[in-house]
Amino acid sequence: MSQGTEQVEESSNLADSVLDQIEDWYHIPALALLLGFMLWVRLQSYDRFIVNGEVFFSGNDAWYHLRQVQYTVNNWPATMPFDPWTYYPYGTSVGQFGTLYDQLVATAALIVGLGNPSPHTVELTLLVAPAVFGTLVALPTYFVGKRLGGRLGGLFGVLVLVLIPGEFLRRGLVGFSDHNVVEPFFQTLAVLAMMVAVSVAERERPVFELLADRDFAAVRRPLGYSVLAGIATALYLWTWPPGVLLIGIFGVFFMLKLTADYVRGISPDHLAFVATVSMGVTGLLLLVPFGSASFSTTKFSLLQPLIAFAISIGAGFMTWLAREWDDRDISTMLYPVAIFGILTVGTLVVSVALPNLFNLIQTNLVRFIGFNAGAAQRTIGEAQPFLQGQQSLASAVIPQYGLMFFTAIVGALVMVWRSLSVDEHEAEKLLVLVWTAFIIAAAFTQVRFNYYLAVPVAVLNAYLFGWILRVVGFDSSARDTIRNVEIYQVLAVVFVVMLVIPGLVMPVQVGNTRTATATQMGNSTAPGDVTQWDGTLNWMQTNTPQEGNYAGAGNEMEYYGTYTEGDGDYDYKQGTYGVMSWWDYGHWITVEGERIPNANPFQEGATTAANYLLAQNESEANGVLDELGDKNEQTKYVIVDWKMVETNGQQGNVKFFAPTVFKEGVSSGTYFDYIYSQNGRFARHKQPYYDSMMVRLYRYHGSSVEPKPIVMDWETTTRNGVQYKVTPSFVSQNANDTTIKRFDSMQKAREYVRNDPGGTSQIGGIGPYPSERIPALQHYRVVKESQSQSTQVYSHYQILRQRLGLLQQAGVGGQDYFRTSPSWVKTFERVPGATVQGTGPANTNITASVQMKTDTGSTFTYTQHAKTDQNGKFTMTLPYSTTGYDQWGTDKGYTNVSVRATGPYEFRTPMKSGGDGFQFTNGTAQVSEGQVLGEDDSPVTVSVDQQQTIPVSGANNSTGNNSAGPSTPGNQTDGNSSAGNGSVGNNSTGNESSSLPNPASPLTRAGLVGAYAATLVVARRD
């Protein structure tokens, strides 16, 4: 042989060797590159979650996981059995929080921290956990895709998963440290293990007799893989107890496959072997974290092992029945009839014998896969239906999956077609189809479950891609493929890959929505509103008494203590207290504030919170709190943010509508509706809105409020059979036909409304202007305003700008709009209040007012009214103190209030004309902090007997909130919420004036802020 020939042969052998190596190992570097890119996408926004060294998380549940992880670090490997630091005054069993996920993160923190991690290390570990787990989902996805479509198919499935920008990516981004993205990891792992187990069983055909004969060698592989499938399923349930649906999915698969096999003449023994062993193992392992001897989907209870054992026994029963069928020579076609008949009878028996269990399963099936969401469920953003309103399928699906959802459906159809046409009846493919069908139902029922659907979409695309490669002849070795590639084969692959680009690689316009790529989404996440609450909650940690030490009780609770309470109603000691707010904020209060919320994002206490926040008077609100626990269990603080009182905006961005769902007998229409104009819609507030507790706290700080001579006017129009309220200019097309009208007196305003023939007008109803007088709160005071302002949010600024624009058209100035600071968050304390015993002219209205100043620099005036009796005596209960703050701080078990008086209370009578001006009598008094807190039970005494005269020429410069002219108020005691028949002069709140200011400057953002700043100057001139 010549040297040249030898060189050619050596070169050819070397090329073959290289191609062999590529064929054997190409998937490993490819997979590593995909995983690296996947992790990078998820960690892009890492720096945004660390602010001045403090670690933040996005959403709500991540914060409670931080508490659970830290507890597990302190007590490894134990998780918290019961938590009294939430859902006051009951406490809660943590259920789906404090599970395998928290144990894994805690273990990682212990490793990183060399056995003693600092809290900061724990926080950072939890911060990146979703990105890591989100990336790891690609591994079981690859192996499932590989089983269906080969190695190239598996890689293609991972590529699809990497590029999917929807819920799956969002819940795997840095900071979204909930357990969500861990669920698809363990679920896919369980599905993969079950696929392997049923495939092995189909090949080796194990039967139960081999186990009975202890011939373990004959069933070693089927038995081993079945045990692994059972373990993998249990791991998923250990991560998320409500994932019991997966056991149900396996149950449906085994029922269908065993029945179909028997009808086709195949013994059901083999797959029944897998079902019995795997689900038996799962049931046994679910007894390990067992915590509740009841039936619950959210906690480790009897439900999870019961369903697993039921499927295990049911599969064995189906095998026994099949043998009985053979022995009696009954037609195989009657077998499925018998199975479904027995299943129906069994369901009826359970519904009668165990109605609670039946109702629990039925309710959760509807909730998870029933394409239906209840009203309360719809208040949870992630539980909204996938398709809402007039939304099309494409506009919902493409932002989540690009075109890959539709190609996945094609892949499923090809899989079904091949099972029918070429007799491909592999069990693992039917398992994937059943799994996909259930997950699609779940995803379309609740939008959040799209983080599950991403994996079935990826693996079905893996199958479709692998099938196309086989069709075009790309299923041979790498050597043959490269040497014999045809142009049509290349074009086919390019066409498939091109399907990935729209919506995944390149943004596209779908309806009114432009899609975002995975890279764009990964670079756009941030902690969210918790950063605006952070200052308030940090203040609460150091400026309110420790739990258990209110009023110096000395029963401080250990924050990371181990608590157990069998009946779920914790016995709180004297000195503990609750913090009322909407349930969304409960975990922030627990973790950031280290205080106990009455309601939390488990929706525990949601109804109570709604009843309190929407209560129409102070007595009703206090009654809600007093009914919660015994005398030792009191709620002492209320936190309200601007979103809780805002009605304009989309659900999720504003929250006033949510409590209306939980409060019985009301709806959002009880409190507001909308008026439409050419520029959008704005809310028309009804009096119950202004009377609600959270509005009276946030907007007025508990002060009394008088209506102003402002009238909202509208017209009605009908379109498509629906009646709408619209602005008059919307109908007349006359720009001067305004919605807001301003009058010189309340009498004229009331006459206009009374004589409106269509009944399409009302006094007030916009911004801070109520229709009727609102009495003062006697037992609540604001103790902290956040430095952050609601006007920082552009969408809210736009809403305020719209309202102020409407008011300016009627000549109402912006400086009258802000009665109190538009702080993002406001904290209030419930106090006994100081008793005032005063004297003044008989049968006369008395107004008490005091100017308060917050640590943000804002000021407001608290006002309360009373009426003297025939002997000239009156009483009041005042919630704000004016002196003695430093004597009653946290060292005494009380609050270091950040809102303090600038002077004493002023008590005065209405002005009357006479002589050269307007005359009234007044008096002043100091109210001590001890009197407000009930530590000093001596009453405040005051005599309203000092004669004062304001010359007519100086009337417009009258003190406080007096009007420019005389007033003839009706019965304006705060015990009567009627509007009275007087003008709005003397007894208005804060900086109100009956002669409304002239319009402010144009409504730029600076102008809006300036309007608020003006209120700080003119709030009180005395």
Q: At what angle do helices 334-353 and 355-369 cross, to 10 degrees?
A: 120
Per-residue pLDDT band at 530 (split at 50, 70, 90): very high
Bridge partner list, 925: 905
What are the backbone dihedrals phi and psi of residue 635, each rounded to the nearest 5 degrees, phi first?
A: -95, 125
Mean pLDDT of 968-989: 37
Give yes or no for residue 293 having a pLDDT over 50: yes
The residue ranking higher by pLDDT, 811 or 459, is 459
The dihedral of CA 730, 736, 742, 744: what is its sign? negative
pLDDT at 996: 35
Q: In 3D, which of 609, 785, 594 has the Cα closest to residue 698?
A: 785
Per-residue pLDDT band at 962 (split at 50, 70, 90): very low
Q: Which long-range contacts (CB under 8 A, 24 or more apart) does 508-515 make?
A: 508/398, 508/402, 510/394, 510/395, 510/398, 510/399, 511/392, 511/394, 511/395, 513/395, 513/399, 515/165, 515/398, 515/399, 515/402
What are the backbone dihedrals phi and psi of residue 124, each rounded to the nearest 5 degrees, phi first?
A: -65, -40
Per-residue pLDDT band at 666 (split at 50, 70, 90): very high
The answer for residues whose C-beta is within 8 angstroms of residue 399's C-beta and 6 or more apart is 165, 166, 503, 510, 513, 515, 516
Give yes or no for residue 394 having a pLDDT over 80: no
How far is residue 74 CA from its own chain's centroid?
Answer: 28
The answer for residues whose C-beta is within 8 angstroms of residue 824's C-beta and 6 or more apart is 532, 533, 641, 642, 786, 788, 789, 790, 792
pLDDT at 216: 74
DSSP letters of 541-577? HHHSPPTT-GGG---PPPTT-----TTS---PPTT-E
Mean pLDDT of 244-265: 92
* Cβ–Cβ under 8 Å, residues 111 and 430: no
pLDDT at 864: 96
Mean pLDDT of 149-177: 93
DSSP letters of 961-1016? T--SS--------TT--S--SS-SSTT--TT--SSPPPP-S---HHHHHHHHHHHH
Biggest CA-to-CA distance, the chain: 135
The residue ranking higher by pLDDT, 259 or 951, is 259
| Cβ count near 697 (within 10 Å) | 25
pTM: 0.87
Per-residue pLDDT band at 377 (split at 50, 70, 90): low
Distance CA 663, CA 650 (A): 20
* Tens-place pLDDT, residues 35-59: 999 999 999 999 999 999 999 999 9
User: Which two three-digit tokens encode residue 349?
Assistant: 């028996």
- Helical residues (DSSP H) of 544-673, grouped into ranges: 586-591, 606-613, 618-626, 642-645, 657-662
pLDDT above 90: percentage of residues in the chain = 55
Give yes or no for residue 622 having a pLDDT over 90: yes
* Cβ–Cβ under 8 Å, residues 574 and 554: no
Give yes or no for residue 925 having a pLDDT over 70: yes
The dihedral of CA 956, 957, 958, 960: what is its sign? positive
pLDDT at 515: 80
pLDDT above 70: percentage of residues in the chain = 85
- Letter for the amino acid at 1012? Y
Give yes or no for residue 497 having a pLDDT over 60: yes
User: Which two three-digit tokens encode residue 897?
Assistant: 């209030």
Output b/e per residue, 229-258; b: 16+ Cβ within 10 A.
Answer: bbbbbbbbbbbbbbbbbbbbbbbbbbbbbb
Least confident of 170-179, 674-683, 689-698, 846-855: 674-683
pLDDT at 382: 60
pLDDT at 393: 80
Give yes or no for residue 896 having a pLDDT over 50: yes
* Tens-place pLDDT, residues 725-779: 898 876 666 656 688 899 999 999 999 999 988 889 999 999 899 999 999 999 9
* Tens-place pLDDT, residues 294-346: 777 777 888 889 999 999 999 999 999 988 888 888 888 888 898 888 988 98
Tell me the Ramachandran region of residue 641: left when phi exceeds 0, alpha when psi lies from -120 to 50, beta otherwise: beta
The answer for residues whose C-beta is within 8 angstroms of residue 293's C-beta and 6 or more apart is 301, 302
Average pLDDT in the chain: 85
* Tens-place pLDDT, residues 509-521: 777 777 888 899 8
Distance CA 493, CA 818 (A): 63
Mean pLDDT of 223-246: 94
